[in-house]
Homo-oligomer: A and B are copies of this chain.
Protein backbone atom coordinates (compact mmCIF):
# COMPACT_ATOMS: atom_id res chain seq x y z
CA UNK A 1 0.00 0.00 0.00
CA UNK A 2 1.46 3.35 -1.04
CA UNK A 3 1.40 6.37 1.24
CA UNK A 4 -1.30 8.89 0.52
CA UNK A 5 0.13 11.78 -1.47
CA UNK A 6 -0.18 15.06 0.38
CA UNK A 7 -0.10 18.60 -0.94
CA UNK A 8 1.72 21.32 0.94
CA UNK A 9 -0.54 24.35 1.23
CA UNK A 10 -0.31 27.87 2.59
CA UNK A 11 -3.12 30.23 3.53
CA UNK A 12 -2.27 33.86 2.91
CA UNK A 13 -4.46 36.12 5.03
CA UNK A 14 -5.56 33.47 7.47
CA UNK A 15 -6.82 35.70 10.26
CA UNK A 16 -10.12 36.74 8.67
CA UNK A 17 -13.32 34.67 8.74
CA UNK A 18 -12.67 33.06 5.36
CA UNK A 19 -9.12 32.26 6.40
CA UNK A 20 -10.24 30.80 9.70
CA UNK A 21 -12.77 28.58 7.92
CA UNK A 22 -10.09 27.45 5.46
CA UNK A 23 -7.83 26.51 8.34
CA UNK A 24 -10.69 24.59 10.00
CA UNK A 25 -11.24 22.59 6.81
CA UNK A 26 -7.54 22.09 6.06
CA UNK A 27 -6.76 20.79 9.55
CA UNK A 28 -9.09 17.87 8.98
CA UNK A 29 -8.42 17.35 5.27
CA UNK A 30 -7.04 13.89 4.43
CA UNK A 31 -4.42 15.00 1.92
CA UNK A 32 -3.70 18.67 2.53
CA UNK A 33 -0.70 19.54 4.65
CA UNK A 34 -0.98 23.05 6.02
CA UNK A 35 2.56 24.38 6.14
CA UNK A 36 2.13 28.15 6.44
CA UNK A 37 -0.41 30.71 7.58
CA UNK A 38 0.11 34.42 7.19
CA UNK A 39 -1.33 37.51 8.83
CA UNK A 40 0.24 40.86 9.13
CA UNK A 41 -1.23 41.71 12.51
CA UNK A 42 -0.82 38.24 14.00
CA UNK A 43 2.69 37.49 12.75
CA UNK A 44 4.70 35.65 15.36
CA UNK A 45 1.68 34.22 17.18
CA UNK A 46 0.76 30.55 17.21
CA UNK A 47 -2.29 29.39 15.29
CA UNK A 48 -3.84 28.15 18.55
CA UNK A 49 -3.30 31.53 20.16
CA UNK A 50 -5.18 33.42 17.48
CA UNK A 51 -7.84 30.71 17.06
CA UNK A 52 -8.22 28.92 20.38
CA UNK A 53 -10.92 26.69 18.92
CA UNK A 54 -8.18 24.80 17.03
CA UNK A 55 -6.21 24.32 20.23
CA UNK A 56 -6.41 20.54 20.16
CA UNK A 57 -4.65 20.14 16.82
CA UNK A 58 -0.91 19.50 17.02
CA UNK A 59 -0.45 21.77 14.04
CA UNK A 60 -2.21 24.64 15.78
CA UNK A 61 0.54 24.53 18.38
CA UNK A 62 3.43 24.19 15.98
CA UNK A 63 2.42 26.64 13.22
CA UNK A 64 3.07 30.33 13.75
CA UNK A 65 1.67 33.12 11.63
CA UNK A 66 4.24 34.71 9.36
CA UNK A 67 4.13 37.86 7.26
CA UNK A 68 2.37 37.52 3.92
CA UNK A 69 5.50 38.74 2.15
CA UNK A 70 7.74 36.10 3.73
CA UNK A 71 9.90 34.51 1.06
CA UNK A 72 9.67 31.12 2.74
CA UNK A 73 6.03 30.72 1.70
CA UNK A 74 7.14 29.92 -1.82
CA UNK A 75 9.64 27.41 -0.50
CA UNK A 76 7.27 25.75 1.91
CA UNK A 77 4.11 25.43 -0.11
CA UNK A 78 3.12 24.28 -3.59
CA UNK A 79 -0.46 25.35 -3.29
CA UNK A 80 -1.66 28.73 -2.12
CA UNK A 81 -5.03 29.92 -0.83
CA UNK A 82 -5.36 33.69 -0.92
CA UNK A 83 -7.82 35.02 1.64
CA UNK A 84 -6.84 38.64 1.32
CA UNK A 85 -8.92 41.77 0.85
CA UNK A 86 -9.96 42.74 -2.67
CA UNK A 87 -7.16 44.58 -4.45
CA UNK A 88 -4.43 43.26 -2.18
CA UNK A 89 -4.99 39.74 -3.39
CA UNK A 90 -4.15 40.35 -7.04
CA UNK A 91 -0.70 41.68 -6.26
CA UNK A 92 0.32 38.86 -3.96
CA UNK A 93 -1.30 36.35 -6.29
CA UNK A 94 0.48 37.60 -9.39
CA UNK A 95 3.88 36.97 -7.85
CA UNK A 96 3.01 33.46 -6.71
CA UNK A 97 1.46 32.48 -10.00
CA UNK A 98 4.55 33.62 -11.83
CA UNK A 99 6.54 31.44 -9.43
CA UNK A 100 4.55 28.47 -10.68
CA UNK A 101 2.35 27.93 -7.67
CA UNK A 102 -1.24 26.81 -8.03
CA UNK A 103 -3.45 29.42 -6.47
CA UNK A 104 -7.04 29.61 -5.27
CA UNK A 105 -8.03 33.20 -4.67
CA UNK A 106 -11.00 33.86 -2.39
CA UNK A 107 -11.14 37.57 -3.13
CA UNK A 108 -12.97 39.17 -6.04
CA UNK A 109 -9.74 40.06 -7.82
CA UNK A 110 -9.76 37.40 -10.51
CA UNK A 111 -13.48 36.68 -10.78
CA UNK A 112 -14.25 39.19 -13.49
CA UNK A 113 -12.98 38.27 -16.94
CA UNK A 114 -13.38 41.68 -18.54
CA UNK A 115 -11.16 44.41 -17.04
CA UNK A 116 -13.77 47.00 -17.98
CA UNK A 117 -16.40 45.22 -15.90
CA UNK A 118 -13.90 45.06 -13.05
CA UNK A 119 -13.36 48.80 -13.30
CA UNK A 120 -17.11 49.40 -13.43
CA UNK A 121 -17.88 47.43 -10.28
CA UNK A 122 -14.71 48.01 -8.28
CA UNK A 123 -14.01 51.59 -9.25
CA UNK A 124 -10.38 51.15 -10.28
CA UNK A 125 -8.16 49.54 -12.89
CA UNK A 126 -7.36 45.88 -12.43
CA UNK A 127 -3.78 45.46 -11.11
CA UNK A 128 -2.97 42.36 -13.20
CA UNK A 129 -5.26 42.22 -16.21
CA UNK A 130 -3.12 39.65 -18.02
CA UNK A 131 -3.97 37.09 -15.36
CA UNK A 132 -7.73 37.56 -15.75
CA UNK A 133 -7.72 35.52 -18.91
CA UNK A 134 -6.22 32.45 -17.33
CA UNK A 135 -8.27 32.53 -14.13
CA UNK A 136 -11.08 29.98 -13.89
CA UNK A 137 -14.25 30.92 -12.02
CA UNK A 138 -14.28 28.42 -9.17
CA UNK A 139 -17.84 27.16 -9.21
CA UNK A 140 -17.33 23.39 -9.61
CA UNK A 141 -20.90 22.71 -10.70
CA UNK A 142 -20.30 25.08 -13.61
CA UNK A 143 -16.63 24.83 -14.53
CA UNK A 144 -15.54 21.49 -13.13
CA UNK A 145 -13.24 20.46 -15.92
CA UNK A 146 -11.45 23.77 -16.24
CA UNK A 147 -10.92 23.88 -12.49
CA UNK A 148 -9.19 20.49 -12.54
CA UNK A 149 -6.39 21.79 -14.70
CA UNK A 150 -6.31 25.45 -13.70
CA UNK A 151 -3.32 27.14 -12.19
CA UNK A 152 -5.40 30.05 -10.91
CA UNK A 153 -8.95 29.63 -9.60
CA UNK A 154 -11.05 32.63 -8.57
CA UNK A 155 -13.52 31.43 -5.99
CA UNK A 156 -17.02 32.93 -6.32
CA UNK A 157 -18.49 35.23 -3.73
CA UNK A 158 -21.12 34.00 -1.31
CA UNK A 159 -24.09 35.74 -2.95
CA UNK A 160 -23.14 34.57 -6.48
CA UNK A 161 -22.94 30.94 -5.37
CA UNK A 162 -26.38 31.12 -3.80
CA UNK A 163 -27.85 32.71 -6.92
CA UNK A 164 -26.01 31.04 -9.81
CA UNK A 165 -26.60 27.45 -8.81
CA UNK A 166 -30.41 27.78 -8.70
CA UNK A 167 -30.66 30.13 -11.67
CA UNK A 168 -28.36 28.63 -14.27
CA UNK A 169 -30.31 25.43 -14.93
CA UNK A 170 -33.54 27.39 -15.45
CA UNK A 171 -31.88 29.84 -17.80
CA UNK A 172 -30.16 27.17 -19.83
CA UNK A 173 -33.36 25.22 -20.15
CA UNK A 174 -35.06 28.43 -21.29
CA UNK A 175 -37.70 27.92 -18.62
CA UNK A 176 -37.64 31.56 -17.53
CA UNK A 177 -37.46 35.00 -19.01
CA UNK A 178 -33.83 36.13 -18.71
CA UNK A 179 -34.85 39.78 -18.79
CA UNK A 180 -36.78 39.98 -15.55
CA UNK A 181 -34.85 38.24 -12.80
CA UNK A 182 -35.06 39.72 -9.33
CA UNK A 183 -33.26 38.55 -6.25
CA UNK A 184 -33.56 39.39 -2.57
CA UNK A 185 -30.84 37.93 -0.38
CA UNK A 186 -30.33 37.80 3.39
CA UNK A 187 -26.82 37.41 4.75
CA UNK A 188 -25.27 36.76 8.13
CA UNK A 189 -22.69 39.17 9.46
CA UNK A 190 -19.53 37.16 8.70
CA UNK A 191 -20.36 37.88 5.07
CA UNK A 192 -18.77 41.28 5.60
CA UNK A 193 -15.51 39.72 6.76
CA UNK A 194 -13.85 40.42 10.11
CA UNK A 195 -14.11 44.17 9.53
CA UNK A 196 -13.57 46.19 12.66
CA UNK A 197 -16.14 48.88 11.92
CA UNK A 198 -18.99 50.31 13.95
CA UNK A 199 -21.57 48.88 11.57
CA UNK A 200 -20.63 45.35 12.52
CA UNK A 201 -20.53 45.74 16.30
CA UNK A 202 -22.80 43.34 18.14
CA UNK A 203 -25.18 46.01 19.41
CA UNK A 204 -25.49 47.52 15.91
CA UNK A 205 -26.36 44.20 14.22
CA UNK A 206 -28.33 42.47 16.94
CA UNK A 207 -32.06 43.20 16.63
CA UNK A 208 -31.37 44.99 13.35
CA UNK A 209 -32.50 44.21 9.80
CA UNK A 210 -31.17 46.34 6.95
CA UNK A 211 -30.91 46.36 3.21
CA UNK A 212 -27.61 47.67 1.85
CA UNK A 213 -25.67 47.94 -1.40
CA UNK A 214 -28.81 48.97 -3.30
CA UNK A 215 -29.08 48.89 -6.30
CA UNK A 216 -25.65 47.82 -7.50
CA UNK A 217 -23.81 45.54 -5.10
CA UNK A 218 -20.32 44.55 -6.25
CA UNK A 219 -21.19 40.89 -6.57
CA UNK A 220 -23.58 41.72 -9.40
CA UNK A 221 -20.64 41.92 -11.78
CA UNK A 222 -19.77 38.26 -11.49
CA UNK A 223 -23.40 37.15 -11.22
CA UNK A 224 -24.29 38.80 -14.51
CA UNK A 225 -21.05 37.65 -16.14
CA UNK A 226 -21.73 33.98 -15.43
CA UNK A 227 -25.42 34.16 -16.28
CA UNK A 228 -24.70 36.00 -19.52
CA UNK A 229 -21.99 33.54 -20.52
CA UNK A 230 -24.30 30.62 -19.88
CA UNK A 231 -27.04 31.85 -22.18
CA UNK A 232 -25.09 33.91 -24.66
CA UNK A 233 -26.84 37.20 -24.07
CA UNK A 234 -26.35 40.10 -21.71
CA UNK A 235 -28.36 39.54 -18.54
CA UNK A 236 -29.10 42.18 -15.97
CA UNK A 237 -30.31 41.17 -12.53
CA UNK A 238 -32.11 43.12 -9.85
CA UNK A 239 -30.42 42.29 -6.58
CA UNK A 240 -30.95 43.51 -3.01
CA UNK A 241 -28.90 42.11 -0.16
CA UNK A 242 -29.97 42.48 3.49
CA UNK A 243 -27.85 42.19 6.61
CA UNK A 244 -29.49 40.08 9.32
CA UNK A 245 -28.33 39.05 12.77
CA UNK A 246 -26.96 35.56 12.30
CA UNK A 247 -23.27 34.74 12.21
CA UNK A 248 -23.41 32.49 9.17
CA UNK A 249 -25.87 31.77 6.40
CA UNK A 250 -27.41 33.21 3.25
CA UNK A 251 -30.91 32.88 1.87
CA UNK A 252 -31.43 33.98 -1.73
CA UNK A 253 -35.00 34.30 -2.96
CA UNK A 254 -35.17 34.54 -6.72
CA UNK A 255 -38.18 35.62 -8.76
CA UNK A 256 -38.42 34.82 -12.44
CA UNK A 257 -41.18 34.92 -15.05
CA UNK A 258 -41.95 31.45 -16.32
CA UNK A 259 -42.01 30.77 -20.00
CA UNK A 260 -45.21 29.32 -21.41
CA UNK A 261 -45.94 25.72 -20.66
CA UNK A 262 -43.41 25.31 -17.88
CA UNK A 263 -45.02 23.65 -14.92
CA UNK A 264 -43.75 22.51 -11.55
CA UNK A 265 -42.87 19.06 -12.78
CA UNK A 266 -40.81 20.57 -15.57
CA UNK A 267 -38.91 22.71 -13.12
CA UNK A 268 -38.25 19.67 -10.99
CA UNK A 269 -36.89 17.79 -13.97
CA UNK A 270 -34.64 20.66 -14.96
CA UNK A 271 -33.14 20.82 -11.49
CA UNK A 272 -32.83 17.06 -11.25
CA UNK A 273 -31.11 16.90 -14.59
CA UNK A 274 -28.70 19.73 -13.75
CA UNK A 275 -27.95 18.98 -10.13
CA UNK A 276 -29.23 15.48 -9.41
CA UNK A 277 -25.73 14.06 -9.19
CA UNK A 278 -24.02 17.03 -7.63
CA UNK A 279 -22.53 16.03 -4.30
CA UNK A 280 -23.24 19.38 -2.64
CA UNK A 281 -26.57 20.43 -4.14
CA UNK A 282 -29.64 19.22 -2.25
CA UNK A 283 -32.91 19.63 -4.10
CA UNK A 284 -35.66 19.92 -1.52
CA UNK A 285 -38.86 17.92 -1.73
CA UNK A 286 -41.89 19.90 -2.77
CA UNK A 287 -43.28 20.56 0.70
CA UNK A 288 -40.08 22.04 2.05
CA UNK A 289 -38.42 25.43 1.86
CA UNK A 290 -34.76 26.03 2.69
CA UNK A 291 -33.61 27.08 6.14
CA UNK A 292 -30.02 28.19 6.73
CA UNK A 293 -29.76 26.18 9.91
CA UNK A 294 -29.74 23.01 7.82
CA UNK A 295 -26.64 24.07 5.89
CA UNK A 296 -24.59 26.01 8.42
CA UNK A 297 -21.11 24.46 8.87
CA UNK A 298 -21.62 22.37 5.74
CA UNK A 299 -20.74 22.73 2.08
CA UNK A 300 -24.31 22.08 0.91
CA UNK A 301 -26.63 24.35 -0.97
CA UNK A 302 -30.30 23.59 -0.37
CA UNK A 303 -32.63 24.58 -3.21
CA UNK A 304 -36.42 24.75 -3.04
CA UNK A 305 -39.00 26.30 -5.34
CA UNK A 306 -42.66 27.15 -5.72
CA UNK A 307 -44.69 28.17 -8.72
CA UNK A 308 -47.19 30.99 -8.39
CA UNK A 309 -50.10 30.32 -10.75
CA UNK A 310 -51.48 33.80 -10.11
CA UNK A 311 -48.38 35.55 -11.45
CA UNK A 312 -46.91 32.81 -13.62
CA UNK A 313 -43.63 33.12 -11.86
CA UNK A 314 -41.34 30.68 -10.17
CA UNK A 315 -39.83 31.55 -6.81
CA UNK A 316 -36.57 29.70 -6.24
CA UNK A 317 -35.01 29.82 -2.81
CA UNK A 318 -31.54 28.67 -1.82
CA UNK A 319 -29.64 28.41 1.45
CA UNK A 320 -25.88 28.15 1.98
CA UNK A 321 -23.33 28.80 4.66
CA UNK A 322 -21.62 31.92 3.36
CA UNK A 323 -18.25 30.81 4.76
CA UNK A 324 -18.41 27.21 3.56
CA UNK A 325 -20.18 26.70 0.22
CA UNK A 326 -20.09 30.49 -0.03
CA UNK A 327 -16.31 30.77 0.35
CA UNK A 328 -13.87 28.37 1.93
CA UNK A 329 -15.71 25.08 1.52
CA UNK A 330 -16.07 25.83 -2.15
CA UNK A 331 -12.37 26.62 -2.30
CA UNK A 332 -11.67 23.20 -0.78
CA UNK A 333 -13.97 21.61 -3.34
CA UNK A 334 -11.88 23.28 -6.05
CA UNK A 335 -8.71 22.18 -4.30
CA UNK A 336 -9.92 18.58 -4.36
CA UNK A 337 -10.61 18.83 -8.08
CA UNK A 338 -7.24 20.44 -8.77
CA UNK A 339 -5.43 17.72 -6.81
CA UNK A 340 -7.37 14.86 -8.36
CA UNK A 341 -8.87 13.96 -4.99
CA UNK A 342 -12.42 12.89 -4.38
CA UNK A 343 -14.34 16.15 -4.74
CA UNK A 344 -15.90 15.74 -1.31
CA UNK A 345 -12.67 14.98 0.56
CA UNK A 346 -12.68 16.65 3.94
CA UNK A 347 -16.05 18.25 3.29
CA UNK A 348 -18.58 15.70 4.58
Q: Does A143 contact B (CB under 8 A)?
A: no
Number of this chain's copies in the assembly equals 4
| Least distance between A156 CB and chain B CB atoms (Å) | 20
By size class, the interface of chain A is 35 or more
Cβ-defined contact, A203 with B17, below 8 A: yes
Residues facing B in A168-214 (CB within 8 A) are 180, 182, 184, 186, 188-190, 194-198, 200-212, 214
User: Which listed residue (B190, B244, B253, B310) contacts A244, Cβ 8 A?
Assistant: B244
Q: Chain A 271-306, CB within 8 Å of chain B: the 1/0 string?
A: 000000001001011001111111111101010001
Cβ-defined contact, B211 with A290, below 8 A: yes
User: Which listed residue (B56, B194, B201, B294) contacts A200, Cβ 8 A?
Assistant: B201
Cβ-defined contact, A198 with B198, below 8 A: no
Measured between beta carbons, the chain B residues less than 8 angstroms from A186 are 186, 209, 242, 244
Closest chain B residue to A287, Cβ basis? B49
Q: Does A53 contact B (CB under 8 A)?
A: yes
Q: How far is the CA of A312 from the CA of B238 in the complex (A)?
A: 10
Measured between beta carbons, the chain B residues less than 8 angstroms from A255 are 182, 238, 240
| Given A209-B292, A293-B208, A282-B249 contact (CB < 8 Å) | no
Cβ-defined contact, A201 with B196, below 8 A: yes
Q: Does A92 contact B (CB under 8 A)?
A: no
Q: Chain A 89-113, CB within 8 Å of chain B: the 1/0 string?
A: 0000000000000000000000000
Cβ-defined contact, A203 with B184, below 8 A: no
Residues facing B in A68-99 (CB within 8 A) are none
* A–B pairs, 18, beta carbons within 8 Å: A56-B298, A188-B203, A188-B209, A189-B206, A194-B203, A196-B197, A204-B293, A207-B293, A209-B244, A209-B292, A210-B290, A210-B291, A210-B292, A214-B306, A214-B308, A215-B313, A236-B311, A238-B308
